[in-house]
Amino acid sequence: MSSEGVDAARRRVGLTVAALCLGTTLNPLNSSMIAVALLSLQHDFDLTTPQVTWVITLFYIASTVGQPLMGRVIDALGARRVFVAGMAVVVVAGVIAPLGGFALVLVSRGILALGTSVAFPAAVALVGPLARAGGMSPPRLLARIQIANTTAAALGPVVGGLLIAVAGWPAIFLVNVPLGIAGLISVWILAPRDNPREAVTGRALVRVLDPAGVLSFAIAAVALLVVLLDAGGDATWLLVAVGVVALGLFVWRELRARAPFIDVRMLAANRALTLSYLGFTVFSALYYLAFFGLPQFLEAHAGYSTAIVGLLMLPLSGMTIAIAPVVARAIDKRGLVPVLITMAIVLLVSAGLLGIGVATTNPVWMLLMAAVMGIPYCMGSLVMTEAVRRAAPPDAVGVASGLLQSTRYLGAIAATVMLGQLLAGGVDAAAWGGVVIAAVATGVVHLAVSLFQAAALRRAQH
């Protein structure tokens, strides 16, 4: 191919990745924008605090179930086709939220979670073909997606606040309409066409999607997540029983299914993939201990305003954006395993540095803490996504990357539960010391898992 042809191919790949990034930002954007809408929703619909927080809880639950489900659909029907359909669902969800009461808002949030859950596994599934088409490095394409997602999560509260100031809470739903349409059209035009597949019929969907496996997984996940989120009330033990039974039925079904939703045997045999999931769950628990806990500590103990806390947390996202290309190049040059081990060590060090808050809440030190935590976050997200992409069977990259995102939510929920216990008696320096001890202990566990994961990845490469 001539140099002009190579340049043209790379430009098209760049535009396609940008279009995919637009779609992948919608999940973190909607996840973080809602934080600044809670008071408006509570006032307009006369809700209690536990009632209004269901807009967050429902999104977490639907995303946790939806990521692997949409990944399975992508593997069966094609990434481009399903991405476009997901963006259409996002548009519908954005339109319906302002049309009724709070129940319709919750329905919209659930639909948004499912629609936006399409984007990340579809993007990961397309990274390989796009990298080959442009003669480019898959980690560098993943770095662009990581930068877009991190930026969206960081800017979500800012964007949400501006939208609500201008047009009220419905604006944070309606903004999904133009963004969804833009993602739909651009990916439809730019993304490589899916390989020929069987016609999309009801019978074909039943055959490839394993409805019994999907249903049992969804029941188990929803029941157990509601318990973990402490939203079960008097029905907590009943939900535990339902979740455990459904989980047992899920494993039983998947061991016998011809086309399982999640191949349990494959996970048991593929140590590199299973350890990647375990590692990312522990990694996310540590990260969200800091991400959720530090703002509470700075507001309640140090007396910083919400606006100042937001500024003090910005280096976390800023560092992620700055070093993502560096991490991608390091994976290319040094290999995945050395970067994985380096990330685990840096994560443990950053957990220890959270202890600075016990001694001082000086803004300079808080900025430093946030910046240091941003380094392993960027490294971990890129390393784990690339590890899963490499370890997953070629026909299961979608569901594998979807499961990876589910483990992120599981880690976030675990961090929420730990913070609830550690800060229950009040938020002061002593309580923060407990958070630091929990973070360091989690970092040690993560380092141990990473060493086993590194060994499994080395074996898988030979």
- Helices vs strands, H then E, count in the chain: 22, 0
Range in 12-21, 156-165, 276-285, 375-384 the model is least confident about: 156-165
**How far is Cα 260 from Cα 228, in angstroms, rounded to an integer?**
27
The average pLDDT across 197-211 equals 62
**Over 60: is that where the pLDDT of 289 sits?**
yes
**CA gap 309, 296 in Å, rounded:** 9
What is the structure's pLDDT at 91? 95
Tell me which of 31-35, 373-377, 400-404 is least confident. 31-35
Task: For residue 283, name the pLDDT band (cuts at 50, 70, 90).
Answer: very high
For range 64-88, the mean pLDDT: 86
pLDDT at 200 over 60: no
Contact assessment for residue 250 and residue 69, using Cβ atoms and an 8 Å cutoff: no
The domains of the chain, with CATH numbers, are 1-196 (1.20.1250.20), 266-462 (1.20.1250.20)
Would you list the DSSP string of 80-119?
HHHHHHHHHHHHHHHHHGGGS-HHHHHHHHHHHHHHHTTH
Q: What is the pLDDT of residue 182?
A: 93
User: pLDDT tens digits, residue range 335-353?
Assistant: 889 999 999 999 999 999 9
CA–CA gap between residue 381 and residue 41 (Å, rounded):
33
Which pLDDT score is estimated for 78?
85
Over residues 256-270, mean pLDDT: 78
User: For the CA atoms of 131, 136, 139, 141, what is the dihedral angle to 10 degrees?
Assistant: -70
**Helices 363-391 and 119-134, interaxial angle, to 10°?**
70
Q: pLDDT value at position 207?
A: 64
Mean residue pLDDT across the chain? 83
Residue 258: pLDDT band with limits 50, 70, 90: confident
Percent of the chain with pLDDT over 70: 93
The more confidently predicted of residues 265 and 285 is 285
**Which of 19-33, 211-225, 317-331, 432-446 shows the highest mean pLDDT?**
432-446
pLDDT at 414: 82
- Per-residue model confidence as pLDDT tens digits over 23-65: 888 888 888 787 667 778 888 888 776 677 788 778 888 888 8
Whether residue 201 is predicted with pLDDT greater than 60 in this model: the reply is no
Q: What is the pLDDT of residue 307?
A: 67
pLDDT-based confidence at residue 203 (cuts at 50, 70, 90): low
Among 89-98, 137-146, 309-318, which is the least confidently predicted range?
309-318
pLDDT in tens, 98-144: 888 888 999 999 999 999 988 888 888 888 888 887 787 888 888 88
